[in-house]
Each structure stands twice: as structure tokens, then as C-alpha cells.
Amino acid sequence: MPSANDYLIKPFQTRVFIAHIDALLRRTSPQKSHAGRERFGIYEFDLAAEQVKFGDHRIGLPQKEFELALQFFRRLGEPLCHSRLFESIWMKSEAAHSRALDTQVSMLRTRLRPHNGYRLTPVYRTG
């Protein structure tokens, strides 16, 4: 939902416009806390240790689930195509009857559900 800060009155100066764009990017982009870590709200991903931290709690995720969660958080609010996710996580084309991705997403939902704030929702007919 846009806020009053998202509107500009015409005519506007170029530097004001650029400042607004920078502010929007800071609000929507992951915050880098320091090398090898990405922060999304209260979730922190330690890329080197492949661990997710939620506040003071560590969420134990297997490697594939960690990679999948990172893909989801990096693209918050965007529908992600099943085949692209499969290729980026498993580094191969999707097998015709493979349910590996569906299983991993289901497990990820279970692990992240108690930690509220984000919800994995299927978007039908997107691939």
C-alpha cells in the first residue's frame, strides 16, 4: 500500500526524484548486515554457514530448503515459476513427475509457520 511518502508533486526536481527512488529501494531490498549475511525483516540468512536466524532463534534447514527459502525471501511478493526454482536449486531440468520441489516447499512452510510474518502461498497457473 503506498504511503504519502510515495507521491511527488509535479514539477519535481531530479535530485528529489532520485532520493525517493533510493528510499523505495532501501525499503524493498534485503539489508546487508555484513559480509555473507542477508537480512529480511527479522530473518537473517548466514550464507557461509547456511543457517537462518529468526530473532534469537536458529531455524535448522537442510541445504536445499535453505537455498529455496533464500530464493523466496530475495523475491518477496513475486510469483516464482516452479521450473525455474527447480533448475536453480537442483541445477537440472525438472523431471516430468518430480515432486521434490513440492515436498521441499511443504517442509519449508512447516518450519517457518511457527515463526510468523511471512507466508508461502501457491499461485496457480504460473508454471
CATH code (residue 58): 1.10.10.10
Domain count, the chain: 1
Instruction: Round to whole Å and give the CA distance between 60 and 52.
Output: 7
Instruction: Round to whole Å and give the CA distance between 17 and 88.
Output: 36
Per-residue pLDDT tens, the chain, 127 aa: give them.
566 666 777 887 777 777 777 777 666 665 555 568 888 888 889 988 888 888 788 888 888 889 888 888 888 877 887 777 777 777 665 554 467 778 888 888 887 765 556 677 777 766 5
Contact 92, 83 (CB under 8 A): no
In a domain, 124, yes or no: no
- What is the end-to-end Cα distance of the chain in Å, rounded? 27
In a domain, 28, yes or no: yes
In a domain, 29, yes or no: yes
At which residue does the C-alpha cell 524493498 appear?
A: 28
Domain range for 51 is: 4-115
* Bridge partners of residue 37, in order along the sequence: 46
In a domain, 66, yes or no: yes
Instruction: Round to whole Å and give the CA distance between 43 and 112.
Output: 10
| Full-model pTM | 0.63
In a domain, 126, yes or no: no
